[in-house]
Chains A and B, each alone.
Chain A
């Protein structure tokens, strides 16, 4: 009897300790690929186009609900050579996986918060942007995650430890020659509600040597969180999202194109706001085409555009205009604008009440949660309406991969998932439903793999659905 008792205690203890260990150390990458390999990939979507290769837990995150403006993030990037997938988590973990979903290595960022992730052009290194008292750009060897170099942005952007206004590298791009372009950003919110923006664009060679900065001797006094560069590295574009114009005197325009040497502004555009908006902001754009001939994007007020490389407007379309229905002003925000070969693709977000985004609206905005495809001439090709917020859009010439998350109006969790659409017709090829909102999306350069990050969410009834998880899919067309 005593032996049984002892065995029971030991067994329960081992289970307890095991569970505790699993919980504690199971930050990310602890789950094995759900499938042995791509050959056995399971059908994940309805049509069989998406086949799940692996589902890997990314650790524990704070669970948000529908009342939260910002939401859990997940950074995803396929390497240009199509061999690996890099994942960055909310908890500052970086994982590198092969195409069968095996974790090759993982690394913890430590103090900093992950803000950007990008492979180098040759796929041999991974660039990490972080927000911390140093605001580093870190370059890791793809082979083993070993750090190759790091560069700080605090010298230019400054830091205030007390107020925790830290510099961070918020966007990274590379050109064909492997040169690296990164946006450093810091914003300060004063007790009186004023904002102060500081931004800088850096250029490094592949070994981490700084080649230049824009502006050379001062900071951008604007909110800049995006950068795009053409293949040759001759032109860079960035937009501004200055909700508070109070402290801005120099960089007041809506979008800028600067030369690849970071010597000066080639052209810039200032668009007047569309009433009732007070400003024109461009947060996830503009995108310059690889050949540098086109620049596209969508302003938050719903106007999308295509300029040529010299800044001449080719066309401008209003995809989502503010509407007043039943005395409620509502709008749907323009989010992503990207070039996909010959076409430009734009996304529009959830419907918001202008008075307060959390307040209800009588109806959804007709353009909300939709994808719009135009050709270079501005010809509308198609649109596809999704049930929830397009949290991230990843494009490839024939494929569009969308992470669909919360619908703050309908709160319907059935819409969550990773959606694959064909281009240019914007037809749904397949969708892999996720329990929680899908918050990150990526597609491999050859269009054969897609990846998404699912996040948990707390429903209004208190129930938590979904997990913080990476899902890797094969696209079989």
Chain B
């Protein structure tokens, strides 16, 4: 059902246009990289600050700012990612690095949802120091996002 839906993406007018255009794909791919830059740049900064590896700036100010930039980045990356995927859905669904990347992104997003609903997040917004649980989630976040970027680049090498 889901697979059929994903495969159908390849039959859309937009996918067809992307396959034929000389500049469409490189432009969308550039926007995808911009999304990754915003996402990973801000999330690494925030995670390292939560882990106290970086010490400057107050978490109560940095956390909402950086997580919002990361949210914009991830939305841009997902939007452009769907377009890049639509060019040849069957090819990507058969690529193990791509499937691994999707699994890693799903785990990372679950981590985001969990962290933002837990009391330690509200505590740092209120100016309190990061708890051990929050530091652990920052470490998980760092690992998952970096692994997702690596798996993504690996798509071209399997």
The answer to whether A binds B is no
